[in-house]
Amino acid sequence: MNLVVNGDAESGPGGSAEPVTDVTGWQVPEGAPALIAYNLGNGYPGPADPGPATRGSRFFSGGNSPRTALVQDITLPTRGITGRRAVDAGKVRYTLAGWLGGYATQEDGARLSVEFRDAEGTPVALSVLGPVTAAERLSRTALIERTATATVPPGARTARMLLVFTRSGGGTSNDGYADAISLTLHATGGRK
């Protein structure tokens, strides 16, 4: 089960290249993201461009800010096969995944990270994905899947998702793109 709320940009306002101030499930501490429809055209990723096979109708972009950040804090399960006992025994693995990309030859990009924190809010582990470079996209407008898998650190109680879009060149659009953001937990052993 994906623990991320609205990791696919499908909920809430958006659908155009116009920035929004609120994004369902996420805080917006910096910049102004846009939730763009795949059928918008105008050079934005379209349904035929490389990206998630099971994509919805929209994706995240950096809007028109030089740097845009989205944050989501997730409370990890307390019980069950991926609950606290299993985490503290080192028997839970996570997969962080997202489709990240940009526009043509530009180096605008998106970076996705998850920071696990203990009960006091102290960071105990970090995984970072991206950004995907223009060379990795073969200088095409595209989103490329990136994943990281590791053991949830013992003592972890929350996970902070951070999605950052950075404009690296000229122009007014921040053409870092992201879609299909997920954080999933998997049990590696029986119940304790």
Amino acid 128: pLDDT = 98
Q: Quote the CA–CA distance of 99 and 81 in Å, as a whole number.
A: 28
Single out the residue of 146, 142, 148 nearest to residue 177, CA to CA. 142
Average pLDDT rounded to a whole number, residues 40-51: 95
DSSP β-bridge partners for residue 71: 27, 162
- Residue 171 is predicted with a pLDDT of 78
pTM of the model: 0.95
Distance from C-alpha of 35 to C-alpha of 24, rounded to nearest angstrom:
11
Sign of the alpha-carbon dihedral angle for 65, 30, 117, 25: negative
b/e code 116-145 from CB counts within 10 Å (16+ = b): bbeeeeeeebebebbbbebebbeeebbbbb
pLDDT beyond 70 at 130? yes
* pLDDT > 70: percent of the chain: 98
Calpha distance 33→171 (Å, rounded): 16
**Whole-angstrom distance, CA of residue 77 vs CA of residue 180:** 21
Question: Which tens digit of pLDDT belongs to each residue from 52-93?
Answer: 999 999 999 999 999 999 999 999 999 999 999 999 999 999
pLDDT digits (tens, 9 = 90+) for 14-32: 999 999 999 999 999 999 9
pLDDT at residue 191 in the model: 47
pLDDT in tens, 151-185: 999 999 999 999 999 999 777 899 999 999 999 99
Mean pLDDT for the chain overall: 96
